Structure 1
Amino acid sequence: MQLAHSNDRLASRMPVDSTAGGEPEVESSVIEWLLHDDQVMRECFTHAAEILKSVTGAAITAIVLLDEEYQHYRAEVGMAMPLVTRARSLADYAVRDADLFVIEDAHNDSRFGDCMLVKRHPFVRFYAAIALRAPNGEIVGALCAMDPAPGRLDAGQRGVFYHLRAMIENDLKMRTATAIDPLTQLYNRRFLLETIARRWKEARDGDVMGSVVVDVDWFKQYNDTYGHQAGDHCLRLVASVMQAAADSEHFVVGRMGGEEFGLVVLDAQRSMLEDTLETLRQGVADLAIEHRASPLGVVTVSIGASLTCISDLSRPAHRDGFASADRALYRSKHNGRNRVTMA
């Protein structure tokens, strides 16, 4: 079955959901994970794009992922696609739709005149996409097909978009269940350690890798005083501060277990890392979570960090980086807690 090309002068699309404008951004931990090459999901994306190309006959099919600034291509079939700002992407229009989004001829719709794929190679005219959602319902990107000639979809081709979306979202649900800590929605210990090992292996000689360990001060006493339900709520609030820091600096953050968290930092610079970790420490204190069993009166964190310049000798030693950060954390605790210590 091939894409039915058309000379129709009017672009067609499904009705816009008027509530979609308030769509919350996807959790960055999921986007970060997908952007950094989870192999299982990459294979799922590739199969979906290949099937979509076979069914529609479109010149290009792909999965696109959307963060706040950019549209990132994954599993392109037909040609390698350039990085595009989200504001000038077709996918940003597509994910506002409640349903399948179709442009039969972008040249006949002034809304798309500034879109990069329309203005420049591959000079897209036909475009169809359907939004993809994380297990919590938030948008991560879209499955799309595009062509430099006008076109339309028949009912069978439209149905394939829905079936492939169901397949991708089901795989995403199963995969995130093995990667995300259910309490904090950060990476879990296993996936964080896998990510750390891979990042160190892929780093170039001369890159500086930062390893960070964060521990909630007097947390056992907090649980004993307020109960485990309050303790879980406390950990979720602390995790939200760490996720915000990770978002701003492109860290990878996860829960190591209990009240301990880990971060890995690419292209780390000592002064910037110290400033960011100090902001993180202060951010937790600013939550002003009452802690009567702490001499400080509120929940705080102690932080240890180390920097490693990647070389042939240090590349296999990602555990050494965190061992050094853990020793720095011990010094933070020994010196009064609620502080950042660099190795």
Structure 2
Amino acid sequence: MQLAYSNDRLSSRMSVDPSVAVEPEVESSVIEWLLHDDQVMRECFTHAAEILKSVTGAAITAITLLDEEHQHYRAEVGMAMPLVTRARSLADYAVRDADLFVIEDAHDDTRFGECMLVQRHPFVRFYAAIALRAPNGEIVGALCAMDPAPGRLDASQRGVFYHLRAMIENDLKMRTATAIDPLTQLYNRRFLLESIARKWKDAREGDVMGSVVVDVDWFKQYNDTYGHQAGDHCLRKVASVMQAAADGERIIAGRMGGEEFGLLVLRAEPVALEDTLEALRQGVEDLAIEHRASPLGMVTVSVGASLTRMTEGSRLAHREGFASADRALYRSKHEGRNLVTMA
């Protein structure tokens, strides 16, 4: 079944209702995890894009992921797509809509005059997309089809978008259940360690990997003083600082267990890494969470980090990188805590 091409104006385009609140962007481990190319979800994305291309006949189909600043393409079928700023993307319009978003001819709508894919190769005119949501309901991206010629969708083609969305979101729900720590919403220990091993193995020679271990100071005493419910709330707040420090695709953050967290920094630079970790330490301090059982009077973290330049000899040395970071963490604790120590 092919697209029924048409030169008609946007008769089937669904307009954005300004009274409907725009969904918040997801700034959680789900989008970070997807940007790091989880193997199972990548295969799911590829199958969905291939099916959509077969059914619609569109020149290009893809999954787009949206972070705060950019639209990232995954599983493109038809051509390799460039990185696009979110503000100039078609997907940013699509995810504002509560339903399937269709543009029959982008040249007939002044809203899309600044969209990069309309103004530049592949000069998109037809575009259709449906928003994809994380299990918590937040939008992570869209399933889309596009073509340099005007087009329209029939009822059965529209239905395929809904079926594929259900398939993707169901797979996403099952995968996040095994990848995300339910308390902090960071990666859990198993998935974090799997991600570290995979990224370390795939790094190019000369890349520098940063291994980081973060521990909440005097956390047992915090639980003893305020109770475990308050302790859980404290860990969630600290985890939010970890997530804020996870800079797009360059940092993977997860909960190692208890009050200990781990981060892997890709393409790390010594000065920049130390600045980032100092900002993380300060960010936790700025939470100003009272901790009467701490000599510092508030919740703080100690941080240890190490850097490894990739060579053939260090290709499988991710455990040593984190062992070195753990020794640096011990020095931070020994020297008074609430410190960042580089190995």
The TM-score normalised by the length of structure 1 is 0.97
1:189-228 paired onto structure 2 within 5 Å: 189-228=189-228
* Alpha carbons 1:209, 1:266 under 8 Å: kept: yes
8 A Cα contact 2:22 2:96, kept in partner = no
What is the aligned partner in structure 1 of residue 101 from structure 2? 101
* Paired position in structure 2 for 1:294: 294
Q: What letter corresponds to residue 7 of structure 1 in structure 2?
A: N
Q: Which secondary structure does the structure 1 equivalent of 2:71 belong to?
A: strand
Contact residue 63 and residue 73 of structure 1 kept, 8 A = yes
Counterpart mapping for 1:61-140 below 5 A: 61-140=61-140
Asked whether the 8 Å contact 2:28–2:185 carries over to 1, the reply is: no
Contact 1:11 1:105 in 2 (8 A): no
- 2:195 is equivalent to residue 182 of structure 1: no
CA shift for structure 1 position 17: 3.8
Where 1:3 maps in the other structure, the secondary structure is coil
- Once the two structures are superposed, the pairs formed by residues 27-38 of structure 1 within 5 Å of their partners are 27-38=27-38
Q: Which moved more, 1:63-72 or 1:210-219?
A: 63-72
Q: Which amino acid aligns with 2:217?
A: D
Residue identity matched to 1:93: Y
After superposition, the CA RMSD in angstroms is: 1.4
The 8 Å contact of residues 11 and 106 in structure 1, kept in 2 or not, is answered as no
After superposition, residues 153-302 of structure 1 pair within 5 angstroms as 153-247=153-247, 250-302=250-302
Greater CA drift, 5-14 or 279-288: 5-14
Tell whether the 8 Å contact from 2:210 to 2:307 is kept in structure 1 after alignment. yes
The residue that corresponds to 2:7 in the other structure is: 7
Cα pair 1:58 1:145 within 8 Å, conserved: yes
* 8 Å Cα contact 1:17-1:98 kept in structure 2: no
| Residue in structure 2 matched with residue 342 of structure 1 by the alignment | 342
Residue 149 (1) aligns with residue 152 (2):
no
SS at match of 1:27: coil
Tell me the alpha carbon deviations over residues 4-32 of structure 1, each in whole angstroms, 9 at most, x when there is no partner: 11120335322424355542110242112
Q: Which moved more, 1:166-175 or 1:18-27?
A: 18-27
SS of 1:313's equivalent in the other structure is: helix
Q: Cα distance, 1:137 vs. partner?
A: 0.9
Contact 2:107 2:125 in 1 (8 A): yes
Counterpart CA distance in 2 for 1:145 and 1:20 is 24
AA partner of residue 2 (structure 2): Q
Across the two proteins, how many residue pairs are aligned to each other? Answer: 343
Unaligned 5+ runs, structure 1: none
Query: What is the rounded CA distance, in whole Å, between the counterparts of 1:22 and 1:125 in structure 2?
Result: 25
Q: Does 1:316 align with 2:310?
A: no
Structure 1 residue aligned with 2:39: 39
**In structure 2, distance between residues paired with 1:249 and 1:31:** 10
Alignment CA distance shift 1:277-1:85 (3 Å): same
Paired with 1:260 and 1:57, the residues of 2 have a C-alpha distance of 50
Name the SS for the 2:73 alignment partner: strand
**Aligned-partner Cα distance in 2 for 1:113–1:66:** 20
Match of 2:51 in 1: 51
CA drift at 1:77: 1.2
SS in 1 for 2:44: helix
Deviation at 1:172, TM superposition (A): 0.4
Distance 1:227 1:242, change over 3 A: same
CA contact (8 A) 1:95 1:130 kept: yes
Deviations 1:116-135 (A, max 9, x none): 21122222111100011111
Partner Cα separation in structure 1 for residue 333 and residue 273 of structure 2: 19
AA in 2 matched with 1:24: P
1:26 aligns with 2:26: yes
Question: Greater CA deviation, 175-184 or 247-256?
Answer: 247-256
SS at 1:128's partner residue? strand
Q: Unaligned stretches of 5+ in structure 2? A: none
> Is the Cα contact below 8 Å between 1:186 and 1:243 reproduced in 2?
yes
Q: Provide the C-alpha distance between the structure 2 equivalents of 1:61 and 1:249, rounded to a whole number of angstroms.
A: 23
